[in-house]
Amino acid sequence: MAITSTDEDWWRTAVVYQVYPRSFADSDGDGIGDLRGLIDRLDHLALLGVDVVWLSPVYRSPQDDNGYDISDYQDIDPTFGTLADIDDLVAALHERGMRLMMDLVVNHTSDEHPWFVESRSSTDNPKRDWYWWRPPREGMAGGMPGAEPTNWESFFSGPAWEYDEASGEYFLHLFSRKQPDLNWENPEVRQAVHAMMRWWLDRGVDGFRMDVINLISKAPGLPDGVVQASGLGDGTPHFMNGPRIHEFLAEMNREVFQGRDSKVLTVGEMPGATIDDAVLYTDPERAEVDMVFTFEHMDVDHAQTKWDLVPLRLPALKAVLGRWQAGLADVGWNSLYWNNHDQARAVSRFGDDGAWRVRSATLLGTVLHLHRGTPYVYQGEELGMTNHPFGGIDTFRDIESLNHHAQAVGLGADPEHVLSSLRSRGRDNARTPVQWDDSPHAGFTTGEPWLPVNPNHDEVNAAAAIADEHSVFHHYRRLIELRHTVPVVAHGDFTMLLPDDEVVYAFTRSLDDVELLVLANFSGRAVQPDLDVTGWTDAEVLLDNVAPGSAAFTGRLEPWQALVLRRSQ
């Protein structure tokens, strides 16, 4: 059964749930999650009440970057299942009124993709120009340090160019050397991508989450970047939001999305996109994408790089999120997220994952879901899953962490210091298996999990959460229900209050004669918000993470308390 919808705007009241398939549920005991495992667990998502599942890549892949390196866009990796399993997943989701959003990774392919294999085979191969091939820097021999065509650093450490001895040229890879960048200047590349996307839509999927999609247009001439501490250049000004990006997205929209029976949901992952960029990307009149994932709020607790940690200051977080709310108030739309497969667990990062785990997880959920935009829940977030107690470097699996460790230690950094930032910020924190119950591998697998289960699964798990009506799970369920039933949550205006307050996050939402006040205490001590609350003390308490069902706001917030109040004029 296909979901057909004539309501072009259905996604504005929707909540999306992200599945990282490797770590969600394993049906065959090989220790790696798969599509059958996901299908078996769909009732969990239905109970939570989400509308859309975003599925991280399940395509055929050598798994150098856990599936973000794709060698066949139109087949499923045997680790995860088959095309028939995807068809069953689509049917099972649609039966439950949910939709499927696929990950679309087209800034790069795997180096094992037949396109790249051909491209690499000779300098005059018809697909040579499908990727970025360049000779060594003038006057230098290929393979020598510094002979790379530009000084750009890869996101996964080291130079963004790999030397190919056979042809004497370098190819560009902004991520790992097994992820060569496609050349979007070549119209054949764009047409091949469009055809592949139409094939998936014809198969019944409902949308695309577009991986680093604002990196696909590179500046002509590929200029060098400013040299950084690593000794390599920052190429980002030359490929983030590049010169032809809007043209490429508008063309994709025209060629793939327009004229279909149902509105296709699209979200662009866009590191380095400013609010002004986002207005252009998400203006419905321009027909590019519905919303973007910004990174600005993920940058508030680090200095130069994501590994240089600084403590969170709440005013900085409020300033960023408040600016995005205001910036997209009239034109465009926000996506809202704390967690995904690339970020450490928010409850460990912005909350208190010890004594106040449940409270701070429910507080974070409340704050996020009461903003204007489309909220994303990352698997396990609805259970209040925390960072993992990682040990030495041999306990990490992620290529980004492993490469960073090798590079930083190689440049003389203190290994303990490097490890401590990996433990706080490494992507493996998000990738430990979902904790379904308190059995030895948390009900994730009957085999040996590819990444160990967090030892706190005897307490933190889905079975326990579903049985406890005060759990993080039920709080998220209530938040999702609010968005579906109370129009001001999805559509109301947003006004930030107390921007400088170090512990209280406060804002209002309003639509017609209904107004909400959201108050959240980001601390482990009770506080009295410095706010004129006249007119709110007898308002209805719509949601309270401390005393569900409480009758009124007393003017005081308990540790990590989050309240949603409603009044009508």
**What's the min distance (Å) between Cβ of 481 and ligand NOJ?**
29
**What's the min distance (Å) between Cβ of 66 and ligand NOJ?**
7
Tell me the two tokens of residue 117: 């294999």
Query: CA 4, 371, 475, 355 torsion: positive or negative?
Result: positive
Given a contact cutoff of 8 angstroms between Cβ atoms, the answer to whether 462 and 383 are in contact is yes
Given a contact cutoff of 8 angstroms between Cβ atoms, the answer to whether 85 and 46 are in contact is no
Specify the residue, 34 or 342, whose C-beta has the smaller distance to ligand NOJ. Answer: 342
Four-CA torsion 342, 476, 58, 92, nearest 10 degrees: -170
DSSP summary character for residue 279: H
Helices (H), 81-184: 83-95, 114-121
Beta bridge partners of 525: none
Given a contact cutoff of 8 angstroms between Cβ atoms, the answer to whether 124 and 76 are in contact is no
Total number of residues shown for the chain? 569
Tell me the two tokens of residue 524: 């482990």
CA distance 325 to 271: 18
CA distance 555 to 534: 10
Q: Which residues bind ligand NOJ (CB under 6 A)?
A: 65, 68, 105, 175, 211-212, 269, 341-342
Give the amino acid at 325: Q
Specify the residue, 343 or 360, whose C-beta has the smaller distance to ligand NOJ. Answer: 343
Helices (H), 283-336: 314-327
Angle between helices 245-252 and 187-203 (to 10 degrees): 40
Given a contact cutoff of 8 angstroms between Cβ atoms, the answer to whether 185 and 239 are in contact is no
Q: Which residue is nearest to ligand NOJ (CB)?
A: 68
Closest CA to 505 of 294, 274, 269, 297: 297
What are residue 179's phi and psi, to 5 degrees? -130, 70
Specify the residue, 212 or 527, whose C-beta has the smaller distance to ligand NOJ. Answer: 212
Strands (E), 91-222: 99-104, 133-134, 161-164, 169-172, 207-210
What are residue 96's phi and psi, to 5 degrees? -95, 10
Specify the residue, 197 or 563, whose C-beta has the smaller distance to ligand NOJ. Answer: 197
Active site residue 437: no
Specify the residue, 68 or 324, whose C-beta has the smaller distance to ligand NOJ. Answer: 68
**What's the min distance (Å) between Cβ of 211 and ligand NOJ?**
5
**What's the min distance (Å) between Cβ of 36 and ligand NOJ?**
23
Q: Which of 211, 290, 301, 544 is catalytic?
A: 211
Active site residue 211: yes
**What's the min distance (Å) between Cβ of 18 and ligand NOJ?**
10
**What's the min distance (Å) between Cβ of 139 and ligand NOJ?**
33
DSSP summary character for residue 415: H
Given a contact cutoff of 8 angstroms between Cβ atoms, the answer to whether 322 and 300 are in contact is no
Specify the residue, 113 or 372, whose C-beta has the smaller distance to ligand NOJ. Answer: 113
Q: Which of 51, 269, 301, 382 is catalytic?
A: 269
Specify the residue, 242 or 529, whose C-beta has the smaller distance to ligand NOJ. Answer: 242
**What's the min distance (Å) between Cβ of 103 and ligand NOJ?**
8
Rg (CA), the chain: 24
Beta bridge partners of 516: 509, 566
Q: What angle do CA 70, 75, 79 make, to 5 degrees?
A: 75
**What's the min distance (Å) between Cβ of 215 and ligand NOJ?**
9
Specify the residue, 148 or 342, whose C-beta has the smaller distance to ligand NOJ. Answer: 342
Specify the residue, 55 or 105, whose C-beta has the smaller distance to ligand NOJ. Answer: 105
Give the amino acid at 11: W
**What's the min distance (Å) between Cβ of 110 and ligand NOJ?**
10
Q: Which residues are catalytic?
A: 211, 269
